[in-house]
Structure 1
Amino acid sequence: MDANQQTRTNPYGMDEACRNCPALCETRTQVVHGYGDVGADFLFVGERPTARADAVGVPFLRDAGEADGDGDRPGGTTLRRMLERLGLCDATSPADRPAVENVYLTNCTRCRDPDRRPTDEEIANCEPYLNAEIRMINPEILVPVGDRALEEIGTEYTTTPADDLSLPDVHATTVRGRGFELVPMVEPHEQTDAQTQAWLEHFVDLMAADYRQTKGRRER
């Protein structure tokens, strides 16, 4: 991480008392901003905080057997486990404070309603937070996790027609973006074993290649 980074949790000090979405203020436990390495090459973007993330304040955390409360099936793998297999997260680090390196985790929305997904307006309200994180981190690879994140990231950061960006069709592929490459992913807990293995193998190949772009990045 950058030498001046003091914490992985909300390292940019974004507003933790945000009230831009009144309905979500009534249902959230806390505002869940980004978490991780501010010098990361790999930035993962989900749709909204999980139930565990809402309780703890770290994106993508998921209890064993946790479902989202809106029809998603429980169980399956976790993003943390996938990052451990890639060597991007210390497997011995605390469950609620994963020691990720070269990785930043965030969401399109920062607050959770346990019974529904975010509205378009709520996504738009949080867009400045996400755009600021992407701009400040300036990652090499954006990983949209799930359909809604892919829709938002794909629309903003690629010239690929929206109809050509859908999961699982582009799962475990590389999509050229404007200044970034996208490597979309089906929600980890919804992946089959074959989908998990395919994504990991694709990402390992990407990490072994010269993925860095020439866009004035600072030296790590």
Structure 2
Amino acid sequence: MDANQEDLSNPFGMDEDCENCPGLVEPRSQVVHGYGDVGGDFLFVGERPDAGADESGVPFTNGPAGERLLGILRRCGLCGSPVDSTEPELANVYLTNLTRCRHPERPPTDEEITNCEPFLNAEIRMINPEILVPVGERALEWLVEDYTTTDPDDVSLPDAHGERLRGRGFELVPMVDPATMTDEQADDFVHDFSALMATDYRQTKGRRSR
């Protein structure tokens, strides 16, 4: 699977007519695949598209939660667009979700997350990021289970917000869901993530040339 380096939206050309989850096909507006820099060191993973992203087709855009997250990325030097942009200019960062479709009345089931795992696994494999940022409790639970040796029961939000967790080839830096994040929590994340970016965070894991 080759990436379209010039296209930030669904750069890996993933199936935009996916029907793997029958319960999500009818209520969704569209399939929302990942968006951003395919050579990024930082990969942010939420649970599912929110209502704004379901409309815009871009994760973490078109609503208050997206504006909060894009504001954090701007402060960290990873976003060059206004926080209300639905096609943000991102550098060194990629945004995606565990699941690609939204049901307006319920969160995704475990089966639906499992159905979407090949999309996420392909993005992680192709991007080969240094830092995974689980956004929200559900994403944290799944990524800790899949990419660390830590028991998911031993780590939770908000306690782990902005903390560095050693993974298998990655570090995880959990983030509180921006939909419920306070100004203080946003400031704390910017402080902690900026400090991480100032370190030699890259792992010796045979990264591909950029």
Cα distance in 2 for partners of 1:203, 1:62 equals 24
Counterpart residue number, 1:84 = 74
> What are the equivalent positions in structure 2 for 1:65-84 lying under 5 Å apart?
78-84=68-74
Cα distance in 2 for partners of 1:173, 1:79 equals 17
Counterpart residue number, 1:23 = 23
User: Deviations 1:103-155 (Å, cap 9, x if unpaired)?
Assistant: 00000000000111000110000011001100110000000000000011000
Is the contact between residue 82 and residue 200 of structure 1 (CA under 8 Å) also seen in structure 2?
yes
Cα distance in 2 for partners of 1:126, 1:134 equals 13
Counterpart residue number, 1:71 = none
> Number of residues paired by the alignment?
209
Counterpart residue number, 2:37 = 37
SS at match of 1:55: helix
TM-score (norm 2): 0.95
Cα distance in 1 for partners of 2:6, 2:84 equals 18
SS at match of 2:26: helix
Counterpart residue number, 1:186 = 176
How much does 1:216 deviate? 1.1
AA aligned opposite 2:19: R
- The structure 1 segments of at least 4 consecutive aligned residues displaced by more than 3 Å after TM superposition are none
> What are the equivalent positions in structure 2 for 1:13-162 lying under 5 Å apart?
13-64=13-64, 78-92=68-82, 95-162=85-152
How much does 1:76 deviate? 9.5
Is the contact between residue 77 and residue 191 of structure 1 (CA under 8 Å) also seen in structure 2?
no
Counterpart residue number, 1:67 = none
- Segments of structure 1 that go 5 or more residues without pairing to the other structure are 65-74
How much does 1:159 deviate? 0.5
User: Deviations 1:163-192 (Å, cap 9, x if unpaired)?
Assistant: 111101111100000000000000112112
- Segments of structure 2 that go 5 or more residues without pairing to the other structure are none
How much does 1:44 deviate? 0.2
The two structures, once aligned, show a CA RMSD in angstroms of: 1.9
Identity of aligned residues (%): 64
Cα distance in 1 for partners of 2:107, 2:179 equals 17
Is the contact between residue 147 and residue 168 of structure 2 (CA under 8 Å) also seen in structure 1?
yes
